[in-house]
Each structure stands twice: as C-alpha cells, then as structure tokens.
Amino acid sequence: MLRRLLFAVLLVVGCRPSDRPTVRPSRIVSLLPSFTELLFAIGAGDRVVGRTQWCDYPPAALSIPSVGDGLPPNIEAVAARKPDLVVLYNAGPNVTAAKQLERIGIRTVLLDLNRLEDLGPAARTLGRLTGLEQQAESLARAMDSLTSTNLHQPPPTSTVAFIVWDNPPIIIGHGSYLDQLATQAGARNVFGDVTAPSAQVSLETIVARDPQWIAVLSDSAVPPAFAKRREWRAVRAVREGHFLLLPGSLFGRPGPRSGQAIQQLRMRLQRDGVGAQHAAPLHQTSR
Amino acid sequence: MKWTLLAVLAVVALVLSVVLGPAAVPLGELLRSDIVWNLRAPRALLAFLVGGSLGVAGAALQALVRNPLADPFLLGLSGGAGLGAVLAIALHLSGPWALPIAAFIGALAALGLVYRLGLIGGASLDPRILLLGGVAIGAFAAAITTAIVSLADAAELRNAFLWLWGGLSGASWDSVLLVALYAPIPLVVLMAASRPLDLLALGEESATYLGADVERVKRRVYLAASLLTAAAVAVSGVIGFVGLVVPHIARLTWGHRHRSLLPAAFLGGGALLAFADTLARTVVAPRELPVGVVTALIGVPVFALLLRRWTIA
Amino acid sequence: MILQLQDARYRYPGASGDALNAVSISVGPGQFHAVLGPNGSGKTTLVRVALGALIPAAGTAQVDGRAAHLWPRQELARVLGVVPQREDNLFPQRVRETVLLGRYPHLSLWGRERAEDHDAVDRALRSCDVAHLADRWLWTLSGGEYQRVRVARALAQEPKLLVLDEPGMSLDLKHEMGLFELVLGLVRGQGLGVLMITHDLNLAARFADSLLLLEGGRPVAAGAPNDVLTQQIVETVFSWPVAMQTVDGRPQMIPLRQTKESRA
C-alpha cells in the first residue's frame, strides 16, 4: 500500500509537463528571423506555425502566418497559433514574454544569438528539441567552422568601419557579430578596440582612423543620405564613395547564411581592394 | 575686468575645442589639418553659437515668465522638435537636411500652439500659462513620438532619440553659416528688450507705469527666445542646463541689468557648451558622450552651489 | 490741470454693474488729492482709467489735455509717477539700482545712463530721506523704508504728478505718518501734484487739500476735507457710527463701538 502511494507520488512529481516532453513539438512559433532560418535549415520548417513579420527567409517562411513584429512579442497572437514550443531570443522583454507564455502553459526556450559562436549551440539546441539532431549537427559544425581559429587566415587586407547611425555617429565595435564578419572576410574593423557592440564616436575619430570602407546595412543601391553631408565628406572613404552596402536580410543578423555573408564580403573586398579604382560592381558607388 | 576675464574664458574654450580631440593632431599640424578645419573648427563655433543662444534665451525667458527655474526647453519646443524628427525618419524623408528642417518645423508648431494657449485669457500673453502650456504641449508631443516609435520600424527610430539628446556631431560650415545668419535677428530683438525686461522684474503693472509696452515686450521676447531655441534644437538636439544655469551664474557677477546680463549670458553659454563638447569628445575617447549628458553633469553641481548662495544672498 | 477725469464711466467685462459712474476729478501742480471709499467703491478702477490702462465707456480721462490711453507709455511715464499697491520684485536688488529703474522713461533704446540720470537718482533718494540706504539690499529694508524707496523711484522719473495707491497699507504709525509728511513736503516743496488712494480717512483729511469720496463707483462728496468728512456722510457711506473731532483744523473721525442697544 505504502509502496503504491510512493510510486504514485514519484510518478506525479517526476512527470511535470514543462520538464519532460514525451512528444516532439509539432507546432513551433519562432520569434526571431534567424531562428526561423535555422529551423528551416535543419528540416523543421514544416513544423513552424508562426513567425515574426521580419522573418522573410527562406521564401517558404512567407506563407507562415505572422504573429506581429515581436518587439515585444504579442502574447495573444502567439497563443492563438496554439504552439507547443516558442523560440525566443534571450533579451529583456522576451524574458518577460517567455514567463507569461509559460504561465499559460506554453513551452518556451530562450536562446542567445549575439555572435557567430552562438549559432552552433543554437542549432544543436533546436535539433535536440525537434529530434533532428543529425541534421542540426552538420549545420552546427559548419557554423562552428566560421569562428574556428584558422591558421591559414591571411592578415587583413583592408580596413572597414560599420556605421549604424550618422548623427550622432554610431559604429559597430568588437562585441558585435558584424565585427566578426569583417574579421572573417579579411577586413579589420578600425573600431575593433571598442569592446561594446556599438558605440557613439566623434566624426573626427572616423576621419583619423581612415577606414578604406564604410559599411552600412542597406537594402538600397545608392549611398546613404549622410554621404552628402558636408562634415561627413571629411572621411576619405565617403569622399571616394567606398561604401559597402550590405542587405539587411543577409548581413543584419547571425544565421545559417552567415558563411555566405562572409564569402560575399570577402569577394567584394578582394575584387575592389586597394589599388582598384575603376571597378563599378554591384552595390559599390564611385564618384 | 570681469568682461576681460569672460572674453579670455571664451577664447580659451574655443581654442581648447580646436586643439583637443580624440584624434591626435600634433600642434604643428593644426593649421594644415583637415580634421581641424572641417570638423573641429565648425563644431567649436557651432557649440559657441548654440550655447550662447541658449544662454540668452534662458535669461530672457526667466525674466519673461518671472521664474528663475525657467529653461528654454520648458516651452514645449523640444517635444515638438523630437516629434518632427521622428516623423521625418518614420516617413523616410531623404536629404541631408531633412532632420533639422523637420525638427525646426516641429518646434515652430509647438511654439504656435503654446502661444495660442498663452493668449487664452484674452489679448494679453499670460506667462504662467506659457509655462504650463509649454509643459503640456511638450508632454503631448512626447507621447505621440513614443507612440510612433513603438509602432514603426524600431531600430532607426531608437537612434533618433540619441540625436535628441544633444549632439554637435552634425556640425559643418554649412550649419555654422546658417546659425550665424539666423541667430543675430532674435538676439538683437532680445538685446533691445533689455530695459523692459529689467522693468518686468517688478511686475507687469509696475513695468507699465515705468514706461514699458508690456504686451509688445512679452510677445517679442517670447517669440525671439523661442525662435532661438528652435534653431538650437534643430541643429543640435536638446542640450539641457545651459539655458537654465548660465543666466544665474552671469547674474552673480553682472547683476540683473539685462543690458550687461544678456551679453554675459551669451559669452558664458558659448564658452560652457564649447568646453562641454570638448569634454564629451575626449573623456571616453574613442567613444563620445552625448553633450547633453556633460552639460547636465557640469550643470547640476554648479546649480547646487548656486542654490546655496541664493539662500544666503 | 495735469490729470483730469470728466464724468468717467467704466464697467469691467462680464460685471453686472459699473465700477465707475460719472466720476470727475482734476489734479494740478501743487495739489494733494485723496480718493476715499469703502472696499469695492471703485478707487483702483479710477486710477487705472486716469492712467489710460482702461478706456472709459463714457466721459474722458486726460493727462495734460490729451486722452490718457493715447499717450505712448514711455512719454506718459515722464509725466506721471505711479506707486502701485503691490510690487513683486523677482530678483534681489539694491536701493540705488531699483531707483535707477525710474530713469528708464528718460533713456533711449541703446543709450547708457548719463550723469544727469544719476543726479536725478541722488536727488530722489535725498528727497525721500533714503540716501543713507542707497547701497542696501531691498530685502533688508523695513516696510516703511521700502515704501519710501518706491516713492523715490517714482520721483526719479521727474514726473509732474505722483499717483499712490494705498501707500500706507501695512505700515506702522510712525512710517505711515512719515510717508504722508514726505508726500506733503513734495507737494509744497517741489510743486508736484499728488493723487493718492487711501483707506485712512483721518490722515487723508489731515494732509490732503481735496478729497473725493466714492461709493459703489459713484461720487458721494468732493472738495475740502471739512465738506466731505461730515458725520452724516461718513456714517452713511461706511455704515458705521462715528464721532467727529477737529485736529489742526481738519476733521478726524472716531469710530464708535456698536453695543447691542445701539444696533437696535
């Protein structure tokens, strides 16, 4: 009698629903474009039933219903999709949203995705959760290789500064994955000594450090508006029109296509490297 | 003697702005340096003009609304400017001058609204309503701004708030020329109102009996001070404390006669902002602090010291 | 005549009755006129109309023969020096600085203060017996001293006529007497005209040449103190029993206590 009671207690205690799912999630809501891409990349795309409005890759994702901009996540919209797993980016408002979702019985997972190193673990976690460990592992290995110390990596051949905003000037520093992209592509971020992911700097610092390239996240083919401003023309790269216009979808966040992004960037830099003055390829303008 | 000291202070502040900076420019190369001529020099001059304008506007407004705590940004102008700038970004208005023009128009719209409110009691401009109306309109504009930011593309708009916090990064010879051509008119109007402003300190009735055309003076001073502030915001965002603290510091030495107070406030405000901007650019180099933060960090202790003196004097 | 009201009538916007009705007064050089009356009788309105701050609906208000409200403010301030009831000085000031403000009607837009302006200030300070306080801060002065300083400021305007609105209010006996003596001295000694609003019947009767008694905006009596302050008139206008006495040939009224019997 006592043994049965003990067994029953253990059963109840041991089987808390949020701890040990017995069923693989089949209705996943992804609240970050990179996670949407990862889920598709490991083969779980058909299980995604909700995405943010920013999730635009792969094209198949566009047919999935949107649950809003995700900033912050709309709890009701997410719940309306009746998910059994919600994947969120691990940052402030999302932590609160995750708690709220858990409170109504929806399972959530918060993943870090700030730098290239986070891609592998994120892929592996998603693989584990969806039961697609093998596919996830191969993807994770490819992601890991992006940041593995490459002994054959040649020294950087060009210098770059990432400008996020012009007034006041905000640059990308060492803490950001864009900085990592640049390093992998063979360019040195002139603001690599700034440890923060982004920081406000004086325009004269940019002029003094004289990067060969000014990189901006832009989907357009024309140089950014600040290129016309008089004070920005003190920067040599602005005067000479050496802009790297990086489409947001590919370069804006770490994701399965980060390797592709690095490749593109490397090719661009090598093609239009120091000395090449007459090139007029895609996304570069010269004046 | 004190004027000499103030002039020297102003010159020193300007020189430091040009000589010091995050980019190390050797003294020998100063005159040839591109950075100095195209970046630091216009920035130093713009800081001086903006700081001076805010100092004068603050002094005049404190006399107008009869409140020593008045700051040019109490009139709702910063809220209007912020709304204008955010709308410009949200609507993807292009052009290098889109932001400043939109901010200026926003500030003017706020000015118009507050002015209308101030006339609510009839043809006479009530300074207390100007103050209250300014706070209300500013809050209203800020609320709309926040709503827009939360509904639209977040990243760019969040950066717009950094602009609002006060920055002279957009300084160029173009903006210096613009301000140098624009500011003298409202500045002269305010200087011409020096005597009536002295009289206004006695109260509107007494001022009238001493020969001031009080209604005209109130209108002119309010409009001129607001126009100066609107231009300052459009060009460099909201830079707090200069318009509040500089007039009080000036009064300690020059007294309340606006004939000397206003020029002193101009030179003092200009020197303060130029100096604060130099600090903003150098203390955490290569990073830069928003200059509004530096003026607050300098302004608050100075203000506290002044309060102590006030309770004694 | 420097200041002249003729049958002036005025009603504040939204008011149910006239604040002033058929009021006349004229003050010339060397004349001391006092305006008396209970609260709300129109005394302050009279001053405002006389100074052109309000335009009468009927009748005229003239200064030096010209309609008061048509005078440019600065010009008017060279003829009339006004000491209003209240002053709200925002910033701390010294006596000399505040009296110097009285010279502003004489200064051009961009001109500096001249030697004659400083002389006028010194004269005004001496006339009001506050020259020894010239460098003191205003907030260190007593009520009586502060009032004299305000009169000095009005004098610095070098006006032909002084207008004082309840100048003796909140002053103690010594300072109130001193103020009235000062004003009378200016009238007799410098030939100034004075128009004073006061609630102090007795002092007005002692010092002024001519009284105007108002009630509900209307003139009840005007002329020499002996003609205006009679027992009957005072009791009627102020609704209180009084006894009358004569001091220095001037009528003085003594309010009587109301017992339950006398109220019956």
Architecture of domain A158-271: 3-Layer(aba) Sandwich (3.40)
Q: What is the largest CA-CA distance in chain A?
A: 89
Phi, then psi, of A48 in degrees rounded to 5: -85, 120
Out of A20-24, B55-59, B101-105, B130-134, pick the least confident: A20-24
**Whether C89 contacts B202, CB under 8 Å:** yes
Residue B278 contacts residue A204 (beta carbons within 8 Å): no
Query: Could you give the CA distance from residue A146 to residue A258 in angstroms, rounded to a whole number?
Result: 8
CA distance B209 to C159: 12
Inspect the interface and report whether the beta carbons of B95 and A225 lie closer than 8 Å: yes
CA distance A237 to A274: 12
Confidence of residue B312 (pLDDT cuts 50, 70, 90): low
* Same domain for C58 and C175: yes
The residue with tokens 């209203």 is B140
Domain boundary, last residue among C158, C192, C209: C158
Closest residue by Cα to residue B195 from B60, B39, B47, B297: B60
Give the DSSP H or E segment for A33: helix A33-41
Q: What is the tally of helices (H) and strands (E) in chain C?
A: 10, 12
Which residue in B35, B59, B81, B51 sits closest to B233, CA to CA?
B81
Per-residue DSSP letter, B35: I
Residue A150 has pLDDT above 50, yes or no: yes
B122 to chain C, closest Cα gap in Å: 11
Cβ pair C101:B213 closer than 8 A? no
Predicted confidence (pLDDT) at residue A274 exceeds the cutoff of 80: no
* Residue C74 forms contact with B (CB below 8 Å): yes
Last residue of a domain, one of C110, C135, C158: C158
Q: What is the pLDDT of residue A278?
A: 33
CA–CA dist B218, B126 (Å, integer): 9
Q: Which CATH class is domain B58-312?
A: mainly alpha
Q: Which pLDDT tens digit goes with each residue over A164-199?
A: 888 889 999 998 889 998 988 889 999 999 999 889
Which of A31-35, B120-124, B308-312, C96-100 has the least mean pLDDT? B308-312
Q: Which residue has the tokens 């009705």?
A: C21
Q: Which pLDDT does position A275 carry in this prediction?
A: 36
- Name the pLDDT band for A284 (thresholds 50, 70, 90): very low
Are C238 and C172 contained in the same domain?
yes
Chain A residues closer than 8 Å to B172 by CB? 229-231
- Asked whether residue C61 falls in the same domain as residue C164, the answer is yes
Beta-strand ranges (E) seen in A167-224 are 169-172, 187-189, 198-200, 213-217
Q: Which residues contact A51 (CB under 8 A, 6 or more apart)?
A: A29, A30, A33, A36, A61, A64, A65, A66, A67
Q: Same structural domain for residues C131 and C244?
A: no
Amino acid at A44: A
Residue C198 lies in a domain: yes
- Cβ separation of C73 and B201 shorter than 8 Å? no
Does the residue C210 lie in any domain?
A: yes
Contact A221, A245 (CB under 8 A): yes
- Neighbouring residues of B188: CB distance < 8 A, sequence distance ≥ 6: none
How much is the mean pLDDT over chain B?
A: 88
Contact C91/B201, CB-based, under 8 Å?
yes
Q: How far apart are CA B237 and CA B100, in angstroms?
A: 9
Q: For the residues A56-66, what does the mean pLDDT come to?
A: 91
Number of domains in chain C: 2
Contact assessment for residue B166 and residue B297, using Cβ atoms and an 8 Å cutoff: no
Average pLDDT, chain A: 84
- How many percent of chain B have pLDDT more than 90? 45
ipTM at complex level: 0.88
Chain C residues in contact with B251 by the CB 8 A cut-off are 91
With respect to residue C217, please indicate whether it lies within any of the assigned structural domains: yes
pLDDT for B261 equals: 96
Is residue C86 in some structural domain?
Answer: no
Question: What's the rounded mean pLDDT across residues B181-202?
Answer: 94
**What distance lies between CA A247 and its chain's CA centroid?**
13
Q: What angle do CA A154, A157, A162 make, to 5 degrees?
A: 115
Find the domain containing C138 and state its range.
91-158
pLDDT, tens only, C164-176: 999 988 888 888 8
- E strands in chain A: 28-30, 48-50, 85-89, 108-111, 158-166, 169-172, 187-189, 198-200, 213-217, 243-246
Identify the burial level of B132 via C-beta atoms within 10 angstroms of its C-beta, where 0-12 means exposed, 13-18 middle and 19 or more buried. middle
Q: Do B286 and A202 touch (CB under 8 A)?
A: yes
Q: How far apart are CA A189 and CA A161, in angstroms?
A: 6
Q: Rounded to an integer, what distance in angstroms lies between the CA atom of residue C190 and that of residue C32?
A: 12
Question: Identity (one letter) of the amino acid at B37?
Answer: W
Q: Do B211 and C101 touch (CB under 8 A)?
A: no
pLDDT for A233-248, tens place per residue? 999 999 999 999 999 8
CATH code of the domain covering residue C186: 3.40.50.300
Q: Is C109 exposed, middle or buried (0-12, 13-18, 19+ CB in 10 A)?
A: exposed
Residue B306 has pLDDT above 80, yes or no: no
The angle subtended at Cα A278 by Cα A277 and Cα A282, nearest 5°, is: 105
Same domain assignment for residues C153 and C33: no
pLDDT for residue B159 is more than 70: no
Q: Rounded to an integer, what distance in angstroms lies between the CA atom of residue B14 and that of residue A147? A: 47
Decide if pLDDT at A1 tops 70. no
Q: What pLDDT shows up at residue B117?
A: 87
Q: Residue B223: how many CB atoms within 10 A of its CB?
A: 14
Give the rounded percent of residues in chain A with a pLDDT score beyond 70: 85
Q: Are C173 and C128 within one domain?
A: no
Number of Cβ atoms within 10 Å of the Cβ of A219: 11
Residues of A in contact with B98 (CB under 8 A): 225
pLDDT of residue B153: 61
Check residue A10 and give its pLDDT: 58
**Residue B202, number of CB atoms within 10 A of its CB:** 25
At which of C139, C158, C177 does a domain end? Answer: C158
Tens-place pLDDT, residues A84-119: 999 999 988 899 899 999 999 999 999 999 888 999
Per-residue confidence (pLDDT) for residue B150, from 0 to 100: 74
Regarding beta strands A28-30 and A48-50, do their DSSP bridges make them parallel or antiparallel, or are they unpaired? parallel
**Half-sphere exposure (Cβ direction) of C54: Cα atoms closer than 13 Å:** 21
User: Are residues C105 and C61 part of one domain?
Assistant: no
Beta strands in C28-94 (DSSP E): 32-36, 58-63, 66-67, 80-83
Both C131 and C228 in a single domain? no
Domains in chain A: boundaries? 23-147, 158-271
Q: How far is B73 from chain C (nearest CA, A)?
A: 21
Partners of C4 in the β-ladder = C26, C62
Checking if the pLDDT of A8 tops 80, the result is no
Q: Are the CB atoms for C42 and C23 separated by under 8 Å?
A: yes
Distance from CA of B210 to the nearest CA of C (A): 5
What is the pTM (predicted TM-score) of this model? 0.84
Fold annotation for A23-147: Rossmann fold (3.40.50)
Query: Is the distance from CB of C168 to CB of C178 less than 8 angstroms?
Result: no
Residue A151 has pLDDT above 70, yes or no: no
**Residue C84 forms part of a structural domain:** no
Chain B positions in Cβ-Cβ contact with residue C165 (cut-off 8 Å)? none
Q: Tell which of A174, A190, A231, A251 to mutate to test the B interface (max B CBs under 10 Å).
A: A231
Whole-angstrom distance, CA of residue B261 vs CA of residue B247: 7
Query: For chain B, what is the total number of helices (H) and then of strands (E)?
Result: 15, 0
Give dist(CA A188, CA A284) in Å, integer: 19
Higher pLDDT, C209 or B74: C209
Give pLDDT, residue C260. 60
Residue C90, pLDDT above cutoff 80: no
